[in-house]
Amino acid sequence: MEVSLMSEQEQITRIRVQYTKGPSLRFTGHLDLQRLWERLLRRSALPVRYSRGFHPRARLNLASALPLGFVSEAELLDFWMDEPLPVDEINNRLSATAPPGMTIKSVRFVDLQEDALQSQMTASEFEVSFFDPQEKEALQKKVRILLAEDKVLRTRRKKIYDLRPLILALQAVTLADGEVGLQMRLSAEPGATGRPDEVLNALDYQATDYLVQRTRLILSDE
């Protein structure tokens, strides 16, 4: 009994997927994304590891919730399988059944002992583009003024917090399409996560003024 359990344990693999969340998935919230992944894994027919019990669920772990309306080039997810398969095959099977707007960028094995993805998160990087053209100098000036503050006190869900230390980097840039936008790196430590919409609001922009793309998730081992 003991022996067979051991060998079953040895077969278990943990897989980390990097994927995109495109425009048609912009408004798929965190819980819906979790369900979307459960169904994607079912369709892939990979030997996904399920929880035991009456309503077994695929064991999966999303790195960091992406605010509604954002797109992303670099989301991360871990899931577990009961038996190993080559990464190429895993990638192919996921890609074949991913919904429009989702591209599987990479698949790799990670150590079973690693912490949960959420607790490995340290920072996220974002790129912001605006619906109305922006003047680069003026935008940069707004950014400088914000960054010069000691404290940027904001209220979210009836709690006051300081946004300033969560902004690790912020600058006006010329984006790939030639338009002026923003780049930022925000803290994503557990309990200290900066939100781009809060930064943009501090810069006097409303949700209907811009689109945000997450470009990178930074984990503690990077």
Partner 1 sequence: MTMPKSTTLWRRVERILPSVVKPGRYVGGELNQTVKPWESVQTHVALVFPDIYDLGQSNLGIALLYDILNQRDDVAAERAFSPWTDMEQAMRKADIPLFSLENKRPLADFDIIGVSLPYETLYTNFINILDLAQIPIYSKARNKNHPLVIAGGQAAYNPEPVAPFVDAFVIGEGEEVILDIVNVHQAWQQSSKDRQDLLAHLAEVPGIYVPSFYSVNYHGDGTVESVTPTHPSASFPVDKRLMTKLPLPLTHFLVPNIEVVQERVSVEIMRGCTRGCRFCHAGMVNRPSRERPVDEILATLKTGLDQTGYEEVSLLSLSSSDYTNIIPLIEGLREMLVERQVNITLPSLRIESFTEDLMAVLQSLSPGGGFTLAPEAGTERLRNIINKPLSDEELMETVRSIYQHGWNSIKLYFMIGHPQETLEDVDAIAELCKAVLQEGRNIVGSRARVHAGISTFIPKPHTPFQWAPFDDLESNEQKIALLHEGMRGAKIKMTWNDPTASLLEAWLSRGDRRMAEVIYHAWKNGARFDAWSDKFNLEYWKTAFEQTGIDPDFYSHRPRNLDETLPWDHINTGVRKAYLLRDYEWSQEGKVRPDCRGQCYSCGILSTFNELRLLAPDGGWKCP
Site stretch for partner 1 (CB under 8 A), options 7-15, 94-102, 108-116, 185-193: 94-102
Q: How far apart are the first and last CA of the chain?
A: 40
Distance CA 204, CA 53 (A): 49
47 binds partner 1 (CB under 8 A): no
Among 6, 68, 96, 153, which residue interacts with partner 1 (rule: CB under 8 A)?
68
Q: Between 29 and 165, name the residue whose CB sits nearer to partner 1.
A: 29
101 binds partner 1 (CB under 8 A): yes
Among 6, 8, 10, 24, which residue interacts with partner 1 (rule: CB under 8 A)?
24
Nearest to 59 by CA among 104, 113, 116: 116
203 binds partner 1 (CB under 8 A): no
Q: Which residue, chain included where needed, has tokens 């819980």? A: 31
27 binds partner 1 (CB under 8 A): yes
Nearest to 206 by CA among 150, 131, 139: 131
Q: Between 3 and 45, name the residue whose CB sits nearer to partner 1.
A: 45
Quick note: the x/- pattern for partner 1 over 114-153, rule CB under 8 A, is: -------------x-x-x----------------------
165 binds partner 1 (CB under 8 A): no
26 binds partner 1 (CB under 8 A): yes
- Can you give the binding site for partner 1, defined by CB under 8 A? 22-29, 31-32, 35-36, 38-43, 45, 50, 55-56, 68-69, 71, 97, 99-101, 127, 129, 131, 175-177, 179, 181, 207-208, 211, 213, 215
